[in-house]
Amino acid sequence: MEKKYTDFNKLNRLLVASFEAEKLYYNAAQDAQTTELKRFLNYMAVERNRMSHDISNELHSRDIEPLKEDAEKGNIDRTWHEIKDALEHFNAEVIINQCIARDKNNIKRYQELIDNNALPEPIIAMLEKQKKQLTWYAKQAEQHKVNPFKKEAATREEAITEKEDAPEAEEKKNNDSGKIINLKAM
């Protein structure tokens, strides 16, 4: 059966790449420092797991042993120094760019298998569906690139500036309208 469909080896490699993408998202979710980003990254890891499971089922149904050498979740080789460093210097934009790059690489693999058209029709249909999902997920990931800490700091600075400028603006407004200004005791 494997000789009949030469692209099954490429499909098996796509399975491994999907496991790697899942690990990347899983590790990023573990390091994320905001609930919203953590949830998004966990969801992306779960979606990659589901896609891997679908590919694995297709391989099993054709009596081909799926490659599971990289099926372990997370990065077992991470030392506490690496984890500490990841938490102290977490940059959402860099992490998400890595995840998007992995997805784009996988999309190319999907497209290659689809273009070859050497796999059975149900597998091609599944690959097309997964490719569309990955493309959409990559667009969604672009929206999560903003570092919430930078955004929050900028918002705080704007609020402080507005509060400092408020009395001066109010005084100017009162002077311009010809109203009497109450003097405060010193």
How does pLDDT run across 49-65, given as a tens digit for each residue?
Answer: 999 999 999 998 988 88
In this predicted structure, the answer to whether residue 37 has a pLDDT above a threshold of 60 is yes
In this predicted structure, the answer to whether residue 98 has a pLDDT above a threshold of 60 is yes
84, 97 contact by CB (below 8 A):
no
Nearest Cα to Cα of residue 55 among 23, 10, 100: 10
Nearest Cα to Cα of residue 134 among 36, 78, 51, 69: 51
Give the predicted TM-score (pTM) of the model: 0.68
What tokens were used for 69?
Answer: 């050498």
**Per mean pLDDT, which range of 39-53, 105-119, 135-149, 155-169 is the poorest?**
155-169
Instruction: Check the CA dihedral 98-81-87-28 and report its sign.
Output: positive
Nearest Cα to Cα of residue 58 among 133, 135, 121, 136: 121
**Nearest-5° Cα angle at 162, 158 to 164:** 120
Check residues 156 and 40 and name the one with the higher pLDDT: 40
What confidence tens digit (pLDDT) does each residue in 151-176 have? 444 454 555 555 555 555 555 555 55
What single letter denotes the amino acid at residue 172?
Answer: K
Q: Work out the widest C-alpha separation in the chain, in whole angstroms.
A: 93
CA 84 – CA 116 distance, rounded (Å): 45
Q: How far apart are the first and last CA of the chain?
A: 92
What residue spans define the domains of the chain?
8-145, 147-186
What is the third-level CATH fold of 8-145? Ferritin (1.20.1260)
Helices 8-31, 92-116: axis angle to 10 degrees equals 170
Question: What pLDDT shows up at residue 92?
Answer: 77
Q: Is 180 exposed, middle or buried (0-12, 13-18, 19+ CB in 10 A)?
A: exposed
